[in-house]
Amino acid sequence: MIKGIPVSPGIISGNCVVLKKEKIAINYKKISKCQVRDEINVFSYNKKKSVDQIKSIKNFLKKKKVDKEKIEIFEGHIMLIEDEEFERDVISCIQDEYYRSSTAVAKVIDRQISILRNVKDEYLKNRIIDFKDIRERIVKNIMKIPIIDLSTISKKIILIAEDLSPSDIVQSKTEKIIGLIMDKGNLNSHVSIIAKSLDIPTIVGTKHATKLIETNDHIILDSINNRIYRNPSQEKIEEVNKIKINHAIWKKELKKLKHFPAITLDNHKFSLQSNIRDNTEINLIEKSGSEGIGLYRTEFLFMNRSNPPTEEEQFQTYKEVAEIMNPRPVIIRTIDIGGDKFVPYINIPKEENPFLGLRAIRIIKNKEDIMLTQLRAILRATHFGNLKIMFPMVISLEEILHLKSQLSFIKNQLSRKNYIFREDIEIGIMIETPSAAIISRELAKEVDFFSIGTNDLTQYTLAVDRGNQSISYLYDPISPSVLRLIKKVIENAHQEGKEVSMCGELASDEFATIILVGMELDKFSMNSVSIPKIKKQIRRLRFQEAKEITEKILRLPSSKEIRNEIERFHKENDMHF
Ligand code: PEP
Ligand code: MG
């Protein structure tokens, strides 16, 4: 039995696909003259095979009516492979330098990549990623290493991977992924957050699952009890089926809460809202009984493309969500790339500490146009609904003042061009760095609202990388330091008459609900799937009692004692999950 860190609860069984990041070992040993012809044939055969594979991905995407941009990426790959000069160079590398076909392909493309690294033109530089992709595809085909394209999976599978990036997961055919197991990752890494929002049973941090499990093995993934069974016995299947049925009943019960308010037994009301990544998630919001969008992670609109979305494209996206949700609020967070969210064309140089590097609003220094275009699109869309702007990763007052002045500049620009927009759009910031939390009283004077990002606040306060599975035991938002910071932020905002939401994962942790209620958090924003369970939890609490317990908890010196205290309360009050 394999275990890890359960992320998204559920039980699922089925066949699996194991996705390993194979290291491709290029063999530089020379061939003999008599092997030249064969190697040229191998190259030609696999060149065609690669083009055919890409064509079928392209056709599939076309049928799915995905973004033209995405299809263009694949068209570009075909052009690069079919380029006559590329073919000539590879053949000459085989017949003149006596390299085998795979080595010749790698060498020719690597030469091209090193030329591109030195060019100034950003567009050309961005082609490096395309060259890397075709290099991998042709070489793998020559070496007969299987290529799994997540965008064209045809059967329902449990996906087992060493590691996936947020962009891998959003471009995969997620409706075919019925379960996800990842050797790396942590509870609050972005892939885990996406899996939760898609309601895919998921366990991460399994360390060796990709080594212990083979593609096509039958798997039971039980992320309620943190268990993975490989080729289970009939007895095990029946045992797990019972848990599955109970889980389904529990979910059905929760659904009934959709039309009830998130109100405590002594009538204190909270607002529950949704975190989304793109407009396709709006339908989940409608099913959950959510009161608005507390966090729109717009960076996902910038992923898996070769250029940033234009002002017009973004405007249409924000307009659509504003109209559908109106009059409910929609908080649009400006692009938060960097860290583990990578957008190739933004060209963030390789960094030693990406989470402490060029991330989120910091790109305004060298990619000002991207931020300003986004702000323009958001402002224009304010005319169609209740949009608000939120800035991530703030650490200082100067940053807010600068962003506000940029916003005023854009407002003037739009007014001059006679656009209609909301002058008085509300501006908020995420409190997700200890620095922002510590100076939150001063920051609150400058903005309309706060949203606490506990995922980053925890990582930066405890100095524990949120995605690093080997130190995941240290990552605990329910620790005295993080909780005391949260309390301070809420108090400071309230003293300035401002509302505080929480959009980090702690908001969707029913174990923590009592403390958040007790700290008088105003709004909770989370993946829509979690809304009913948090509502249920709030409806079982008494506000006054939660405040008293929270006061006591905030004086406790360790996470262990805090957890014991919460557990004791839940037991005494019969609050099982
Ligand atoms: C957070 O840090 O808590 C947050 C909500 O932002 P993200 O997870 O996108 O970094
Ligand atoms: Mg964050």
Sequential DSSP letters for 222-282? ETTTTEEEES--HHHHHHHHHHHHHHHHHHHHHHGGGGS-EE-TT--EEEEEEEESSGGGH
The CATH number that domain 292-425 falls under is 3.20.20.60
Q: Give yes or no for residue 456 CB within 6 A of ligand 1.
A: yes
Q: Give yes or no for residue 299 CB within 6 A of ligand 1.
A: no
* Cβ count within 10 A of residue 89: 18
C-alpha 187/C-alpha 519 separation (Å) is: 24
Query: What average pLDDT does the structure give for the chain?
Result: 91
pLDDT digits (tens, 9 = 90+) for 399-426: 999 999 999 999 999 999 999 999 999 9
Average pLDDT over every residue of 439-467: 97
Ligand closest to Cα of 504 equals 1
Q: Give yes or no for residue 454 CB within 6 A of ligand 1.
A: yes
Catalytic site includes residue 34: no
Average pLDDT over every residue of 242-247: 88
The per-residue pLDDT for 65 is: 61
C-alpha 361/C-alpha 399 separation (Å) is: 8
Average pLDDT over every residue of 511-531: 96
Q: Is the pLDDT of residue 563 over 90?
A: yes
For the purposes of burial, counting CB atoms within 10 Å of the CB of 68, is it exposed (0-12), middle (13-18) or buried (19 or more)? exposed
Give the distance (Å) from ligand 2 centre to CA of residue 45: 47
Give the distance (Å) from ligand 1 centre to CA of residue 237: 37
**Residue ranges of the chain that CATH labels 1.10.274.10:** 33-143
Q: Ligand 1 atom 1: the closest Cα is on which residue?
A: 453
The per-residue pLDDT for 301 is: 92
* Highest CATH level, class, for 447-577: alpha beta
The per-residue pLDDT for 205 is: 92
Task: Say which range, 33-47, 85-99, 116-130, 212-226, has the weakest mean pLDDT.
Answer: 116-130
Q: Is the pLDDT of residue 175 over 90?
A: no
Residue 128's pLDDT band (cuts 50, 70, 90): confident
Amino acid, single-letter form, for residue 83: D
Q: Is the pLDDT of residue 66 over 70?
A: no
The per-residue pLDDT for 145 is: 82
Average pLDDT over every residue of 37-60: 90
Average pLDDT over every residue of 112-127: 81
Task: Give the ligand 1 atom nearest the CA of 452.
Answer: 3
Ligand closest to Cα of 453 equals 1
Give the distance (Å) from ligand 2 centre to CA of residue 352: 19
Q: Give yes or no for residue 455 CB within 6 A of ligand 1.
A: yes
More confident residue, 442 or 245: 442
Average pLDDT over every residue of 181-197: 87
Give the distance (Å) from ligand 1 centre to CA of residue 60: 33
**Residue ranges of the chain that CATH labels 3.50.30.10:** 5-21+149-232
Ligand closest to Cα of 454 equals 1
Task: Give the ligand 1 atom nearest the CA of 459.
Answer: 2
Q: Ligand 1, from 297, 362, 431, 461: best to mutate by most atoms within 8 Å of Cβ?
A: 297
Q: Give yes or no for residue 514 CB within 6 A of ligand 1.
A: no
Q: Is the pLDDT of residue 186 over 70?
A: yes
Q: Give yes or no for residue 297 CB within 6 A of ligand 1.
A: yes
Give the distance (Å) from ligand 2 centre to CA of residue 493: 19
Catalytic site includes residue 190: yes
DSSP H helices in 260-396: 282-288, 311-325, 368-381
The per-residue pLDDT for 127 is: 78
Task: Say which range, 4-13, 340-349, 566-575, has the weakest mean pLDDT.
Answer: 340-349
Q: Is the pLDDT of residue 324 over 90?
A: yes
Q: Give yes or no for residue 130 CB within 6 A of ligand 1.
A: no
Q: Do 363 and 371 meet the contact criterion of CB atoms below 8 Å apart?
A: yes
Binding residues for Mg(2+), as ranges, are 432, 456
Q: Is the pLDDT of residue 67 over 80?
A: no
| Residue 338 DSSP class | B
**Residue ranges of the chain that CATH labels 3.20.20.60:** 292-425, 447-577
Q: Is the pLDDT of residue 577 over 70?
A: no
Q: Which residues of 185-213 are buried (b: 16+ CB within 10 A; e: fewer)?
A: bbbbbbbbbbbbbbbbbbbbbbeebbeeb
Q: Catalytic residue among 16, 77, 93, 190, which?
A: 190
Whole-angstrom CA distances from 430 to 344, 422, 427 are: 25, 21, 10
Q: Is the pLDDT of residue 264 over 90?
A: yes
Structure tokens at 311: 């002002």
Q: Ligand 1, from 298, 455, 458: best to mutate by most atoms within 8 Å of Cβ?
A: 455
In the CATH scheme, what architecture does the domain 33-143 have? Orthogonal Bundle (1.10)
Q: Catalytic residue among 208, 268, 503, 570, which?
A: 503
Average pLDDT over every residue of 284-301: 93
Give the distance (Å) from ligand 1 centre to CA of residue 507: 11
- The fraction of the chain above a pLDDT of 90, given in percent, is 67
Q: Ligand 1 atom 6: the closest Cα is on which residue?
A: 453
Task: Say which range, 61-65, 321-325, 521-525, has the weakest mean pLDDT.
Answer: 61-65
C-alpha 486/C-alpha 463 separation (Å) is: 16
Average pLDDT over every residue of 445-473: 95
Task: Give the ligand 1 atom nearest the CA of 506.
Answer: 3
The per-residue pLDDT for 171 is: 66
Give the distance (Å) from ligand 2 centre to CA of residue 297: 10
Binding residues for phosphoenolpyruvate, as ranges, are 297, 333, 455-456, 466
Strand partners, 387: 330
Structure tokens at 239: 């045992």
Structure tokens at 63: 């049928």
The per-residue pLDDT for 469 is: 81
In the CATH scheme, what architecture does the domain 5-21+149-232 have? 3-Layer(bba) Sandwich (3.50)
